[in-house]
């Protein structure tokens, strides 16, 4: 395929009526311009100009090819302008990956509101607690708990101080005495979450600037955080959940926090993408919007 710069040189030479003038406009050395034209003619297998020391005119093949060369360059210009318009506007397709519990029970109404503010946005949402592969899957950004394992990814903080909370329903605590120390968790049915092949059954807490952990047991485990939350609300056991996931449940009394003298482990929420080039105006605007809503959730 011909080089774009060679096409540009050819079109400018035709317009200027001379190779030297075209080279000056494109800031090329005369020798480089001559080589570009020769390279293009070789690629096409045809002479494009009849050249003399004083003049340059198109051949029949050159006149025919000039029409197509102009169309190619115009299409490229229009494509670049289209991309520039999209990157400066809050519009276009936005492929999101969101954790199940946070996505279904907290963020979906916010995303509806964001689309109302920016009607040009078209969401494609993947709700799952399985970690999406941002390099191989068609996903622009992922909303994730914890720092990304791949240091090459970009992580923008959404709720950096979010923590986990031990909780259960009022009905559960009517039947079982609320734990007063970590060791008491051994006597409770603990609802565990599995991510990948790892069961999160070692629950960590901070107290008096010291970290303590306990390995818990129970009769239920799931790779869906929303299911663990529903089990807890139904009174099936204790759960160790992100405060963001259960903030409304705590406010409305569907769940009650336990071991309040202990501080749950950090569960920072980040907006993650594979490269900074993915941070389009739409993504940055969504990040700012979500940070504002998450701050309001604390109130």
Q: Are β-strands 190-195 and 238-242 bridged in parallel, bridged antiparallel, or unpaired?
A: parallel
Cβ-in-10-Å burial (0-12, 13-18, 19+) of 251 comes to exposed
Inform me whether the pLDDT recorded for 217 exceeds 60.
Answer: yes
Q: Using pLDDT thresholds of 50, 70 and 90, give the confidence band for residue 86.
A: low
Q: Using pLDDT thresholds of 50, 70 and 90, give the confidence band for residue 274.
A: confident
How are the residues of the chain apportioned to helix, strand and coil, as percentages rounded to the nearest 5? 45, 25, 30
What's the pLDDT score for residue 125?
A: 93
pTM of the predicted protein model: 0.67
Span 25-79, pLDDT tens digits: 888 898 998 999 999 999 999 999 988 767 788 999 999 999 999 888 888 887 7
Nearest in space to 159 (alpha carbons), one of 58, 296, 11, 25:
296
Inform me whether the pLDDT recorded for 188 exceeds 60.
Answer: yes
Q: Using pLDDT thresholds of 50, 70 and 90, give the confidence band for residue 97.
A: very high
Domain residue spans in the chain? 4-87, 92-160+268-298, 164-264
- Asked if the domains at 4-87 and 164-264 fall in one CATH topology, the answer is no
Q: Using pLDDT thresholds of 50, 70 and 90, give the confidence band for residue 84.
A: low
* Third-level CATH fold of 4-87: Arc Repressor Mutant, subunit A (1.10.10)
Q: State the DSSP code for 103.
A: I
Inform me whether the pLDDT recorded for 299 exceeds 70.
Answer: no
Q: Using pLDDT thresholds of 50, 70 and 90, give the confidence band for residue 89.
A: low
> For the domain 92-160+268-298, what is the CATH superfamily, name and number?
Periplasmic binding protein-like II (3.40.190.10)
What's the pLDDT score for residue 291?
A: 93
Query: How much is the CA Rg of the chain, to the nearest whole Å?
Result: 31
Burial 210-246 (b: 16+ CB within 10 A, else e): eeeebebebeebbbbbbbbbbbbbeebbbbbbbbbbb
Inform me whether the pLDDT recorded for 87 exceeds 60.
Answer: no
What's the pLDDT score for residue 88?
A: 57
User: Quick one: average pLDDT of 115-134?
Assistant: 89
Lowest-confidence segment of 40-44, 88-92, 105-109, 216-220 by average pLDDT: 88-92
What's the pLDDT score for residue 212?
A: 92
What's the pLDDT score for residue 196?
A: 79
What's the pLDDT score for residue 85?
A: 54
To which H or E segment does residue 275 belong? none
Domain 164-264 matching CATH 3.40.190.290: the answer reads yes
């Amino acid at each position: 395929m011909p080089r774009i710069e060679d096409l540009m040189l050819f079109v400018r030479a035709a317009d200027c009526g001379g190779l030297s003038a075209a080279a000056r406009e494109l800031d090329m050395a005369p020798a480089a311009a001559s080589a570009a034209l020769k390279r293009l003619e070789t690629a096409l297998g045809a002479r494009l100009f009849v050249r003399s020391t004083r003049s340059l005119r198109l051949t029949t093949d050159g006149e025919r090819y000039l029409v197509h060369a102009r169309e190619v360059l115009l299409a490229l210009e229009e494509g670049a302008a289209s991309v520039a318009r999209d990157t400066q506007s809050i519009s276009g397709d936005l492929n999101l990956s969101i954790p199940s519990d946070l996505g279904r029970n907290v963020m979906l109404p916010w995303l509806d509101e964001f689309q109302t503010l920016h009607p040009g946005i078209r969401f494609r949402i993947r709700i799952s607690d399985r970690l999406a592969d941002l390099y191989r899957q068609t996903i622009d950004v992922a909303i994730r708990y914890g720092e990304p394992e791949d240091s090459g990814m970009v992580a923008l903080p959404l709720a950096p101080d979010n923590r986990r909370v031990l909780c259960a329903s009022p009905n559960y605590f009517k039947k079982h005495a609320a734990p007063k120390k970590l060791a008491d968790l051994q006597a409770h049915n603990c609802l565990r979450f599995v991510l990948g092949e790892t069961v999160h059954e070692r629950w960590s807490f901070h107290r008096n600037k010291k970290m303590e952990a306990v390995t818990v047991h129970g009769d239920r485990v799931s790779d869906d955080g929303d299911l663990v939350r529903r089990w807890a609300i139904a009174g099936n056991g204790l759960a160790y959940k992100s405060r963001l996931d259960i903030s409304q449940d705590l406010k409305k009394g569907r769940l009650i926090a336990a071991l309040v003298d202990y501080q749950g482990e950090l569960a920072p929420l980040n907006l993650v993408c594979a490269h900074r080039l993915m941070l389009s105006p739409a993504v940055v605007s969504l990040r700012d919007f979500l940070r504002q809503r998450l701050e309001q959730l604390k109130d």
